[in-house]
Structure 1
Amino acid sequence: MLEVENLQVVYNNAIEAVRNASLNVTAGGITALLGANGAGKTTLLKAISGVLYPEDGKIRDGVIRFEGCDLTKLAPDDIVRLGIAHVPEGRKLFIELTVEENLVVGGHTTNRADIARRLEEIYQLFPQLKNRRTVLSGYLSGGEQQMVAIGRALMANPRLLMLDEPSLGIAPLMAEAIYAAVRRLSGEGGLTVLLVEQNASLALDASRNAFVLENGRVVLDGTSEELKRNEDVCEFYLGLGAKGVRRSMRDVKHYKRRKRWLS
């Protein structure tokens, strides 16, 4: 469904954020993209959705294809019309608009006749939003804002949903509710999901396949179950050492330099 081949992204013609990154997202299920801060995860999603330009980012090399269509020269609204929706890190809601107004904005590429139906589907997915539909989004909790952000993306009726750090800054119970909804969208609705998440344990539990991004390039990939058993993933992303023993942060500082894929 989505193919990224040898992608290189540069900011301000000087800073290389993604270098020779390649990955393949197959239709159906959830694919996770793991990596530390600064690994290039968010930049990769922005490149796919065509929104690098506000930060003076450019694709210098490589290709991004969605169902055979080259995305690298397309405008963001054209990419949305092809069936890709992006929920950015930090949610980026219009805080002076109500919940429902934010959702309707997300349907700007959708036929008007479908907007009411899409709204009802989102309220079924996130029931608590229905009672908050007239509330200004700036007054919502972090978890409720994340639900609105996901709902806004779903208004475009995407075939690929990209989520950037959906659990960031929200309460654990809300994170569980959001991940339950994402699993439902993928399992029952057949939606393909590309998930960026620093919480590796949460991401690997939810996903079918996963990629690890380090210093702008993909260094590991496989099924999520395989990566859960990978020694490096256990140490550097799950905080586990031999026999599942948890590591302290002091230990992490010492063994980070041992990453075999960076040697």
Structure 2
Amino acid sequence: MLEVENIQVVYDNAIEALRNTSFQVEPGSITALLGSNGAGKSTVLKSISGTLYPENGRVRSGIIRFDGQELAQLMPDVIVRLGIAQVPEGRRLFIELTVEENLLIGGYTRSRGECTETLEEIYELFPRLREKRGAVAGYLSGGEQQMVAIGRALMARPKLLMLDEPSLGIAPVIVRDIYKAIVELNRSRGMTILLVEQDAALAIKTAGYAYVMENGRVVLDGSGEDLSKNEDIREFYLGLGARGDRKSMRDVKHYKRRKRWLS
């Protein structure tokens, strides 16, 4: 479904954010991009959705292909119509509008009838939003705002839903609800998910396949099950020793300097 081949992304024609980054997302899968801050995960999503330009970024080389269509030169609204929707990091809602007004904005590429139907589906997925449909978005909790952001993306009826740090700054109980909804979208509705997440344990548990990014490139990939057993992933990303015991922060920082994939 989605193929990213050797893309290089630069900001301000000077700062290289991605170099020769390649990965694939299969139809009907949940695929995760893992990595620390600055690894290039969010830049990957912006490259796919065509939203690099506000930060003066551009894809300098490589190919991004979705269902056979190359995306690199397309405008964001065209990419949405092709079937890709992104939930940005930090939600970025219209905080002075109501929950329902925010959701309806996401359906600008759809007919009124489709919007009405999809709105009901979103309220079934997130019952909390039905209760708050008339509330001003700026007064919602962080978790409720994330639900609105996901719902707004779903209003476009995407084939591929991209989520950027959906657990960031949210209470654990709400994170569970959000990830339950993500799995529901994938299993019951067949929606393909591309997930960017710093919580490696949560992402590996949820995704069928994952790619690990460091310094703007993919350095490791595998199934969620295989990565959960990988010594490097366990020690650096999950903070676990060989016997499953928790490592101290001092040990983890030391291990960062000797990760095999950076040698």
Task: Give the superposition deviation at 1:105.
Answer: 0.1
Report the counterpart of residue 77 of structure 2 in structure 1. Answer: 77
Partner of 1:260: 260
Letter in 2 for 1:127: P
Equivalence map 1:202-221=2 (5 Å): 202-221=202-221
- Distance in 2 (CA, whole Å) between partners of 1:178 and 1:235 is 27
Does the alignment pair 1:243 with 2:237?
Answer: no
Q: Could you say which residue in structure 1 is the equivalent of 2:176?
A: 176
In 2, Cα distance between equivalents of 1:247 and 1:38:
23
Q: Provide the residue aligned with 1:131 in structure 2.
A: 131
Aligned residue number for residue 103 of structure 1: 103
Task: Give 1:185's aligned residue.
Answer: 185
Question: Within 1, Cα distance between the matches of 2:163 and 2:3?
Answer: 17
**Aligned AA for 1:234?**
R
Provide the rounded CA distance (Å) in 2 between the counterparts of 1:7 and 1:222: 20
What letter is aligned with 2:95?
I
The Cα offsets for residues 81-135 of structure 1, whole Å up to 9 and x where unpaired, read as 0000000000000000000000000000111221111100000000010010000
Distance 2:236 2:73 in 1: 36
TM-score, L = length of structure 2: 0.99
Task: Give the Å deviation of 1:17.
Answer: 0.5
User: What TM-score does the superposition give when structure 1 sets the normalisation length?
Assistant: 0.99
Following superposition, the deviation at residue 236 of structure 1 comes to 1.2
Over residues 194-237 of structure 1, what are the superposed CA-to-partner deviations in whole Å (9 max), with x where a residue is unaligned? Answer: 00000000001111000001100001111110100111111111
Corresponding residue SS for 1:182: helix
The one-letter code of the counterpart of 2:139 is Y
User: Could you list the per-position Cα deviations for residues 9-68 of structure 1 after superposition, in whole angstroms to 9, with x for gaps in the alignment?
Assistant: 000111101110000000012111100000000000000000000000010110100011
Give the whole-Å Cα distance in 2 for the aligned partners of 1:235 and 1:39: 18
Q: What are structure 1's unaligned runs of at least 5 residues? A: none
* Whole-angstrom distance in 1 between the partners of 2:196 and 2:126: 21
- State the partner residue of 2:39: 39
Indicate the residue corresponding to 1:162 in structure 2. 162
The answer to whether 1:89 aligns with 2:89 is: yes
Cα shift at 1:73 = 0.5
Question: Take 1:61 and 1:256, find their aligned partners in 2: how far apart are those partners?
Answer: 30
Shift of 1:142: 0.3
Secondary structure of the corresponding residue to residue 120 of structure 2: helix
Distance in structure 1 (CA, Å) of the matches to 2:261 and 2:236: 12
Partner of 1:150: 150
SS in 2 for 1:239: coil
Partner SS, residue 244 of structure 1: coil
The amino acid of 1:214's aligned partner reads E
| Partner Cα separation in structure 1 for residue 203 and residue 5 of structure 2 | 23
- Once the 2 structures are TM-superposed, how far is the Cα of residue 250 of structure 1 from its aligned partner? 1.1
Query: What's the secondary structure of 1:258's corresponding residue?
Result: coil
Secondary structure in 2 matching 1:235: helix
Find the residue that maps to 2:85 and give its secondary structure.
strand
Distance of 1:138 and 1:17 partners within structure 2:
32
Q: Which amino acid aligns with 1:65?
A: R
Residue 249 of structure 2 aligns with an amino acid whose one-letter code is: M
Distance in 2, matches of 1:10 and 1:237, equals 27
- Percent same amino acid among aligned pairs? 68
Q: Distance in 2 between matches of 1:173 and 1:108?
A: 32
Q: Deviation string for 1:224-255 (max 9, x for gaps)?
A: 10100111111111111111111111111111
Aligned residue for 1:36, secondary structure, equals coil
Whether 1:113 and 2:113 are equivalent positions in the alignment is yes
In structure 1, the residue matched to 2:19 is: 19
